[in-house]
Amino acid sequence: MRTLRIVNLLLLASIATAQAQLNLMPMPSTVQQGSGQWLIDRSFSVAVTGFHDASLEGGVQRFVAQLSRQTGIPFRTKAGSASPTLTIHAEHGRDQVQKLGEDESYELTIGSSGATLTAPTPLGILHGMETFLQLVQPSTTGFAVPVVTIKDQPRFPWRGLLIDVSRHFIPIEVLKRNLDGMAAVKMNVLHWHLSDDQGFRVESKRLPKLQEMGSEGLYYTQAEIRDFIAYAHDRGIRVIPEFDTPGHSRSWFLGYPELASSSGPFTLDADGPGSVTDPTREETYKFLDKFVDEMAKLFRDAYFHIGGDEVDGKYWDANPKIQAFKQAHGMKSNQDLQAYFNQRLQKILAKHHKTMIGWDEILRPDLPKTIVVQSWRGQQSLATAAQQGYSGLLSFGYYLDLMWPAARHYTIDPMSDAAATLSAEEKSRILGGEGCMWAEWVTPENIDSHIWPRNAVVAERLWSPQEVRDVDSMYTRLNAVSLHLETLGLTHRSARMHMLHRMAGPEDITPLRVLADVVEPVKDYTRWDDSKGPIDFHAPLIRMIDAVYPESDMARRFGKLVQTYIQSGYKDQAAEAQIKTFLIAWRDNDAKLHPLLGQSFLLQEVTPLSESLSAIGATGLQAVDYLDQSQPSPESWRTQQLALIDQAKARKADLLLMVVAAVQQLVESTGK
Amino acid sequence: MRTLRIVNLLLLASIATAQAQLNLMPMPSTVQQGSGQWLIDRSFSVAVTGFHDASLEGGVQRFVAQLSRQTGIPFRTKAGSASPTLTIHAEHGRDQVQKLGEDESYELTIGSSGATLTAPTPLGILHGMETFLQLVQPSTTGFAVPVVTIKDQPRFPWRGLLIDVSRHFIPIEVLKRNLDGMAAVKMNVLHWHLSDDQGFRVESKRLPKLQEMGSEGLYYTQAEIRDFIAYAHDRGIRVIPEFDTPGHSRSWFLGYPELASSSGPFTLDADGPGSVTDPTREETYKFLDKFVDEMAKLFRDAYFHIGGDEVDGKYWDANPKIQAFKQAHGMKSNQDLQAYFNQRLQKILAKHHKTMIGWDEILRPDLPKTIVVQSWRGQQSLATAAQQGYSGLLSFGYYLDLMWPAARHYTIDPMSDAAATLSAEEKSRILGGEGCMWAEWVTPENIDSHIWPRNAVVAERLWSPQEVRDVDSMYTRLNAVSLHLETLGLTHRSARMHMLHRMAGPEDITPLRVLADVVEPVKDYTRWDDSKGPIDFHAPLIRMIDAVYPESDMARRFGKLVQTYIQSGYKDQAAEAQIKTFLIAWRDNDAKLHPLLGQSFLLQEVTPLSESLSAIGATGLQAVDYLDQSQPSPESWRTQQLALIDQAKARKADLLLMVVAAVQQLVESTGK
């Protein structure tokens, strides 16, 4: 055995040559690989020694059930097996309400005939069991885990995922399977964005008009929430509620218009009048005190998110009473007014034993240093907060709704850029980060594919050593974890088939899948532009853009192939053959797809995209012919093809053809 | 509009040319197609007029939710919409306990701006809503249903599916999704095979050792059963319990060995001693009376299945007391003794207001004419029963565990063969039939794929007019219904991907899928032979044979292509090109698959199969070359190839390569 501390890309590469890479995500902090493996067969059994409670027992049962699902071996959890093959030992229990910074470390030692998993508390045991499950693979002699010693702990104590359930309501069972996914990649915070302009999603018994008038009937009961929090706790996940205020709060005003800074009547439809909370009325704070009192008991975590982002000051500017208040209190700006509001709200939270979190905009030196600032703006504001003594979380760069490739999220580190130059003490204030799933364009049907597998790389960034950043290794492991997540019940891969058939009917959709495989949704906030008016959140999300994966694996693989081919000086015959196979399939696809496209209102918009793919396929084939014959192409041909490529790059049906860039490289190479 | 009564294959063909075939399964008894369609958009709403109760309301809510899933339009069920677009009207309520022969008819009239669904009772409404859902398709202008008038009712009143939960326990949630599938194809009886040698699956409070010692903890509680029966009732499905006795009853004897005809100790493992119930002791009948008393209250249906099949007489022959009893009562055979047992048991059932059902073997003239005989042996025993005045059900030909293609089940009709010559009165005693899913080789993971979509053709056989029997039409509609069933939550298509990845690990499994697409499990009871000893029901079912579909669509399509090509005199260039594309893919597949096969203990057995596919692909290509060039092949070549084809036909890894026959046709054609 040799000791391995994963420190950098080079070392990772050297492991890959020496031993098969372990398909783990997030990569543990230290891995000692041995030789040989332990066969998982029907003799497998588990014993829990040391600390013991119902939650840990439930975790072990889920572990065995999942091992059963993965291997197909019908294990029965037998109490007190005579010679257990996996021994699980936690030193002591967990806190009843999971705390920030609780010890999550574990040690997993796998020998050739058994394994031991130890941890200070069940939190580490939960993480270690997930590692174990990711290690199980078929071998030549049976299902097996490799002989290995893993000592593991997280880099950051706060590794979260935000799910917005206001823009589109997401039912509890969908959230639960996402908790299962989070647990599998060792995330420990679900940030539940429970209210926004488009809906208030929590039952309040003391202020019932919040959900009665603000949710169209789509909200979680308190019983459901309690059950959900317990479900998360059993998986080592804290649940932080966010009630966004004073902006993003129109849904509150349907039931309680007196909270608003302007007059209604308010509706949840985007085309009705907007508003923001009136911070000048004492009644507002009485309301919030009553509200926080109730919610603080329901949500047990010590942290409470008040949003605080993107307050539209025009509603304050237009209200003479609010203007008078500002003047009377010597406030120079709406930022001053919001700071006043936040101070009042922070005192209410403190009274109910909650620590305030808010987005960048809440950062003002007059707030106590206990609060946490969550940055959607970038490492700079995180660094500024840390310098001022505030704790911070990074979400900039982790917005899963922006349709970035995994590699782009992966490169973003909470300690990079402005944060890199902080002192050690300042750095310690950076608690971690959160992937964010804003729900403008997701439904229960496709939210999984918008979160997974990409969220797993955010999880790795926040758990694994900073030096773990090899992109090829990441994609190999991401593919494995993606399949693993589907066995847990997530539908990020499988839902696409149903969505494509919805568009095409029961016909053979192979050519539609060929097209879907090479496109991605447009990026950032370009899907919608305000000239179209407000987004209709009741519209079905059933277009091609809603069905496809945010990242095209096929395009990435094709791009790699083209690189290999070009770098070989067009000599790599295997690469050339594969490239041609792809290009021929694309060139010929439109003819096969055309009959389908004509039949369905949902596919008509895709016609130009399909035609472009066909054209690009033909262009690529011609380019490869020139390259293969070592014959430069005529300039006129290149000019013509590059014009065609420019057209192919243009968005169509809000989609991008992701293989165009690689074909362009081929075409440009023919001129050299 | 023109009136259409579906009467025969020719007429069906004429519709196909005149109008697109409706993707309905089972095909309704009458269909009047009009012109045009009704667009299903956000304005869609439902009103229930006439009879109204919670069960119907639940059904309408499920219908709207499913319409939402199919279209992606987020419908909200609004009570009392001003101008409903779909009006649902039931004349009166259903029986509290669904009866055999209750009116299930309905009329569905769809115009260009709305629809009406009427029925005598909510049973017909349930069926009509399923028809409506199957009609929804994307059109050029939006989701739509065609303008049509359907008047529909079943051919047989008893359309069932047997699910064996003894050999492998199937959890309630898996059964529930299968109920959803049954409702979608208008089946109305779940025959629940609850006990057998390998497990007793029902909680008895009065005889608790039945489940405590006879189930390994895998049984349904009475609360679960009540909930399940209510779930089924809401979907128009009766639940008939089967407790198999006096044979197939070893699991009873673990807790109550005194019931057995021989001594134990008994275990659930197949290698322990077997036995059958002792029909000579009065205590046996006291036990059964107590048991039936409890179960008759739990299972509300009027029918109660006592099994009665395959009684192994050797246990009676070996018991001197039983021999003495037979002699004392003048019984000449074990059949006489079983008849005595059945008479006693029938009286117990009658006392508890239940009608007895049993398999062929119970048929004896000394039983009252009220009993029902279920035939696994064939139409002959069904006809004999009908002639003797007994009611009957056909299951012969509908055994889904035999891995037959859908077309083979489809051709079998309860009224054919021996039954065809019965008098009208005798025919009226044939109540219908049941698909049977015996569970020797299924688990919760793959039971869906062993039942669906093939069970839908049994459902059509039992619902639709006898003349509906065009196989091409059936397969087209079966494909549509298969996709539809997956949107209901069944996993018959999607589970395969997980199972293939379990065998292969996270690598790209495309070549494994290519192989899986052209194989089928061996047929009938040939998977296991007794020389291997008893089946181990605790062994994992994770081989290739467990993952593949019982029927290869790809092989069927390839066979059709080859027919077309041969019939064209080898002139059909399009068919030839498609045939060659398939053959090339198969020829080249082994090289791609080989690295995967070597890595996994589960795939090693598949190697010869993959090699055969490759060889067959090469052979087929050579044959097409001869045919294309109108050049007869040398006889030596044919001899050699036909030898190779013989090898390729042989089972490997308990699988059959289903494309061999068509390649053989190509090869043989080269000699003509």
Q: How far is A238 from chain B (nearest CA, A)?
A: 29
- How high is the pLDDT of residue A46? 95
Amino acid residing at B380: Q
Q: What is the pLDDT of residues A498-550, one digit of tens each?
A: 999 999 999 999 999 999 999 999 999 999 998 999 999 999 999 999 999 99
- How high is the pLDDT of residue A77? 57
d(CA B298, CA A389): 67
Q: Which residue in B641, B661, B435 sits closest to B552, CA to CA?
A: B661
Of B42, B487, B600, the CB nearest to A138: B600
Contacts A546 to B, Cβ<8 Å? 72
- How high is the pLDDT of residue A224? 98
Q: Which residue in A24, A495, A454 sits closest to B497, CA to CA?
A: A495
Average pLDDT, chain B: 95
Q: Which of A57, A310, A434, A551 is catalytic?
A: A310
d(CA A172, CA A145): 34
A635 is catalytic: no
Contacts B504 to A, Cβ<8 Å? 138
- How high is the pLDDT of residue B270? 78
- How high is the pLDDT of residue B269? 86
The low-confidence residues of chain A, meaning pLDDT below 50, are 1-18
Q: How far is A75 from chain B (nearest CA, A)?
A: 9
The larger pLDDT score, comparing residue B306 to residue A82, is at B306
Probe site for chain A from B198, B216, B514, B601 (most A CB atoms < 10 A): B601
- B450 pLDDT band, cuts 50/70/90, is very high
Q: How far is B650 from chain A (nearest CA, A)?
A: 25
d(CA B505, CA A21): 13
Average pLDDT over residues B101-124: 98
The larger pLDDT score, comparing residue B558 to residue B15, is at B558
Q: What is the pLDDT of residues B239-277, one digit of tens each?
A: 999 999 999 999 999 999 999 999 989 999 877 899 999
Q: Are B171 and B218 in contact (CB under 8 A)?
A: no
Residue whose structure tokens are 């305000």 = A530
Contacts B42 to A, Cβ<8 Å? 538
Contacts A505 to B, Cβ<8 Å? 137-138, 480
d(CA A192, CA A371): 18
Looking at the predicted structure, is the pLDDT value of residue B356 above 70? yes
d(CA A374, CA A305): 9
- How high is the pLDDT of residue A78? 56
Amino acid residing at B255: G
Q: Across the interface, do B600 and A443 touch by the CB < 8 Å criterion? A: no
Alpha helices in B464-606 (DSSP H): 471-487, 495-504, 510-516, 544-547, 553-567, 573-599
Q: Across the interface, do A72 and B502 touch by the CB < 8 Å criterion? A: yes
ipTM: 0.94
Q: How far is A86 from chain B (nearest CA, A)?
A: 20
B326 SS3 class = helix
Q: Across the interface, do A141 and B601 touch by the CB < 8 Å criterion? A: yes
Q: What is the pLDDT of residues B320-329, one digit of tens each?
A: 999 999 999 9
Identify the burial level of B271 via C-beta atoms within 10 angstroms of its C-beta, where 0-12 means exposed, 13-18 middle and 19 or more buried.
Answer: exposed
Alpha helices in B112-221 (DSSP H): 122-135, 172-184, 209-214
Neighbouring residues of A401: CB distance < 8 A, sequence distance ≥ 6:
A436, A437, A438, A439, A440, A441, A442, A450
d(CA B603, CA B507): 13
Q: What is the pLDDT of residues B518-575, one digit of tens each?
A: 999 999 999 999 899 999 999 999 999 999 999 999 999 999 999 999 999 999 999 9
Q: pTM for this structure?
A: 0.95
